[in-house]
Structure 1
Amino acid sequence: MKTAKIIGIAAGILLTATPAMAQDSGEIGYAKGALGYDALVAGENELALQQLEATDKVDANDPARLINLGQVYARMGRNGDAARMFMAAMKSDRNFDLVLADGSVVSSRDAADQALQNLNSQFAVR
C-alpha cells in the first residue's frame, strides 16, 4: 500500500500528524478546513459539514473526506448517510495510510471500516 497522505480525522477514530510533521491542524496534505478537522474536534458539526460539502478544496470521493463526512452525519443523527459515507470510503479505489492519534498507522479502508463498526455498535446499544 502506498502512503499518499497523512491526514487527521476527528471523532471515534481520531487521526493526527506525527510529532515530526506537527502543524496547526490535522489536515496534512490538504487545504486548511478541507476535511473539517478543526471544526470536528471543536464539536462544530454545522461548520464541519459546510467545509466538507465545499468540494472545491478536496475531491468529493476522497476517502478522508468521506470518513469525516460520515462522522459529521453520525453526530447529527443521520446514521444511514453516515454508513453510506463509510462504505464509500471502504470501496474507494483510492487507499492510503492514515496515522492514528496513538501513532499507529492504518489504511483509509480500515479506518472507514472501524468507523462503520463504531456506528453499528452505537446503534445496537440504543
Structure 2
Amino acid sequence: MSLLVAATLLVVADSSALVVTAPETEFDIGYEELIAGHDHEALAAIEECEKSSHRDPARQINHGIALARLGDYEEARVRFSAAARNAERYDLETSTGEWVDSRVLGRRGLAMLESGDFQKYAALASR
C-alpha cells in the first residue's frame, strides 16, 4: 500500500463489528458487501482481490471480519493478529471521525473474538 488508507469503523447491530474500507483506491476489500451483511460475497471479494496486498492492514481486518461472521474464528484470529503486528501501520478514520492506528483495530478485532461479539452478530443475523 503506497498511501495512507482512509478507513471506516462501523457498529453493526448490537455487536461492535469492525468494517474498514479504502475509499480512494481502485480495489475492493469487501466493504460494501460487509456493510450489506453479505459475508460470503465479502469473503469472495477479499480473497479474489489481486490489487491489494495480503499484507494490507485494511484487507486483513476486513478478511478477519468476514471470517468471524461466518464462524471461522481461528482464521479470523490469524487475520486480526496479522493486522495487530503488521509492520505497515496506518491511521484509519472511524465513522465517528476518530483516527485509529490499524494495529489498534487489529487488537479490537481480537478482543471482539475473545468476548464473543462475533457470535452475537451471527445470532442476530440468523433471526
Scaled by the length of structure 1, the TM-score of the pair is 0.79
Residue 24 of structure 2 corresponds to residue 29 of structure 1? yes
Contact between 2:19 and 2:34, CA under 8 Å: does it hold in 1?
no
CA contact (8 A) 1:36 1:47 kept: yes
The one-letter amino acid paired with 2:72 is R
State how 1:1-126 maps to structure 2 within 5 Å.
4-8=4-8, 12-15=17-20, 26-32=21-27, 34-122=28-116
Query: Structure 2: where are the runs of 5+ without partners?
Result: 121-127
User: Which structure 1 residue ranges, 5 or more long, are not aligned?
Assistant: 16-25
| 2:19 and 2:61 in contact (8 A); partners too | no
Deviation at 1:53?
A: 0.3
Shift of residue 46, structure 1, vs aligned partner: 1.1
Q: What's the CA shift for 1:9?
A: 5.3
Instruction: Deviation per CA, 1:39-88: give whole Å up to 9, x if none.
Output: 00000111101110013121111010000000000000000000010001
Q: Name the Cα RMSD after superposition.
A: 2.2
Q: Distance in 2 between matches of 1:47 and 1:9?
A: 19
Following TM superposition, by how much is the alpha carbon of 1:14 offset from its aligned partner in structure 2, in angstroms?
4.2
Count of residues paired in the alignment: 112
Per the alignment, do residues 51 and 28 of structure 1 end up closer, same or farther by CA in structure 2, a change over 3 Å counting?
A: same
Instruction: Report the identity percentage.
Output: 29
